[in-house]
Chain A
């Protein structure tokens, strides 16, 4: 058993910019708040038995989804892991469609056939939602390959956790992305733990951005993932690089999750201490932005309360919609195994 050592990858202290376009900041805050309150509701639904199986909440990581996805065009592509609710919402999949999917109903974005870990929406170019660690990283490279094959300037964002860097598929995909100059942003959401294993216990080099050094032409960048403006700026540069030079990037976005790995996991007290959790609450991406905006007078307390109320109504509406949506009929069991078309 390795002795615990201090990781170089500790999240940077919060440095929220106070100067920002108020209109954009309001959108960012709204998006993050929606994800936050939606995920809190999801936790409640799970405890009530309305959601089954595995459920991985995005609470604490909202700046990453919001900061990156907000910079995309509609014809860009997003793919990620099983911790996908926040990203799906940031990409514009409706709260109704996401909640209905979590509840396993036919109006879910995957028609109730996927569940929490397999959110898909072709209209939003949201390619899932994948359950095997690392499995989707070659898929992302494949999307990049297709973009380049057709001479397009779209980009593909590939979200992954900090554990993914240690699995073979990561290496194979990044090697080919660098070799063939594919327009992919590989975004490591480093929340310091792969399930219950701290990054420094799993990775021989725990400065994860350095993995890019093994793939010539790929920039490896560390980003403060608790600061939505920092994420936006880094994303903007990397997206431009992909779009105009067809160069892939590796972003190590240092973030933190305020709940357990999944609904089956304790919030703290096993592999991470309550003290650590409490310390990170000070970097809450949602409330940090709110506080900065109030401080800069770009939003009043009354406006904040109105936003909270509006978001609460959206989330309740999503719950009610999901609850009212029927479960798939028995006949749906055999649908969508194969298509009966040729081209």
Chain B
């Protein structure tokens, strides 16, 4: 099976979906002539032309709104935000336009749009370029929110997101674009709303998503050497969340740690813990713990950034704590 990068997987998904349906177009900063700020759209301008791969001015609110308006009348835009930090400028269009249009029009205007771009921290990008937005966006009814962590998941989910007739928020990661994984040739889709068990074990569950999936798998492989075997549940889709998969795992392992990139207060993990305590209370042998970013804006200095971020060591400590082995 071919081994390709996460970036190439996204590129394939875009190319395949744009070939399949000529209503699909890509718009964003530097997606065309520059070949993509992170080269995700490399070669697409040459293949599909400037009507379908559209370089926009730096005007997130404007071009996100153009995407929504065009989707209301039948096109299927993929709007790229160079990072989700900049997408804050466009949040009115994601939340007040895209998410609410179908409902407030009494079911008349659906918005088949994908908003995609890198989310969360990279390396020393500083406070304004490092934020994770899962919890802001997953809060809103009327959209779906995906966060793939592997090339296989990225391609299958993006294809499904583009075909979905609802607005889909698609969270990638600068640190993920170069990662590699097996991706089959030929057509495949991954359905939105279904989690994936990336590792299996009956001692403890790690619930996670996005780039933290790689950390979780590292943790699982390392702890296996100490005789601790983990379920690593990759949510893949944050909204709608596959709660049945969470319950099935936690009922089996009876212990859980939630690993996420965002901050503590009102982060995704807080919601996962609520689901677990409500439905699996009698199965739990320990409180559910969370591993997340320190409650600070992201510092620039290398050492401080390392302390701020969630990582394998912190996750291992949390697992050992719920196993009462620390």
Known: A132-B92, A149-B51. A140 touches B69 (CB 8 A): yes
Among the 9-residue stretches B70-78, B253-261, B270-278, the one with 4 or more Cβ atoms under 8 Å from chain A is B70-78
Question: How many interface residues does chain A have, given as a range?
Answer: 35 or more
Cα distance A337–B73 in the bound complex, in angstroms: 18
A278 CB to nearest B CB, Å: 38
Would you call A336 and B76 a contact (CB within 8 A)?
no
- Contact of B69 (CB < 8 Å), options: A146, A338, A341, A342: A146
Residue of A nearest to B105 (CB): A120
B157 CB to nearest A CB, Å: 13
B79 CB to nearest A CB, Å: 10
Besides A141-B65, A146-B74, 4 new A-B residue pairs in contact (Cβ under 8 A), listed by A number: A145-B70, A175-B62, A339-B166, A343-B165
Would you call A338 and B102 a contact (CB within 8 A)?
yes
**Across-interface contacts of A109 in B (CB, < 8 A):** 106
**Across-interface contacts of B102 in A (CB, < 8 A):** 336-339
**Across-interface contacts of A310 in B (CB, < 8 A):** none
- Mask for A113-131, Cβ within 8 A of B = 1, else 0? 1110010111000011111
Question: How many interface residues does chain B have, given as a range?
Answer: 35 or more
Cα distance A139–B72 in the bound complex, in angstroms: 9
Would you call A143 and B70 a contact (CB within 8 A)?
yes
Cα distance A175–B63 in the bound complex, in angstroms: 11
Known: A111-B107, A118-B105, A120-B105. A173 touches B70 (CB 8 A): no
Q: Is A168 engaged at the interface, CB distance under 8 Å to the other chain?
A: yes
B interface residues, Cβ below 8 angstroms from A: 21, 25, 51, 56-57, 59, 61-76, 92-93, 96-97, 101-110, 112, 141-142, 144, 160, 163-166
Q: Is A205 engaged at the interface, CB distance under 8 Å to the other chain?
A: no
B96 CB to nearest A CB, Å: 5
- Contact of B25 (CB < 8 Å), options: A108, A121, A140, A149: A149
Residue of A nearest to B74 (CB): A146
- Beta-carbon contacts under 8 Å, A213-260 to B: none
Known: A108-B106, A127-B109. A338 touches B166 (CB 8 A): yes
Q: Is A110 engaged at the interface, CB distance under 8 Å to the other chain?
A: yes
Q: Is A9 engaged at the interface, CB distance under 8 Å to the other chain?
A: no
- Contact of A176 (CB < 8 Å), options: B56, B93, B105, B110: B56
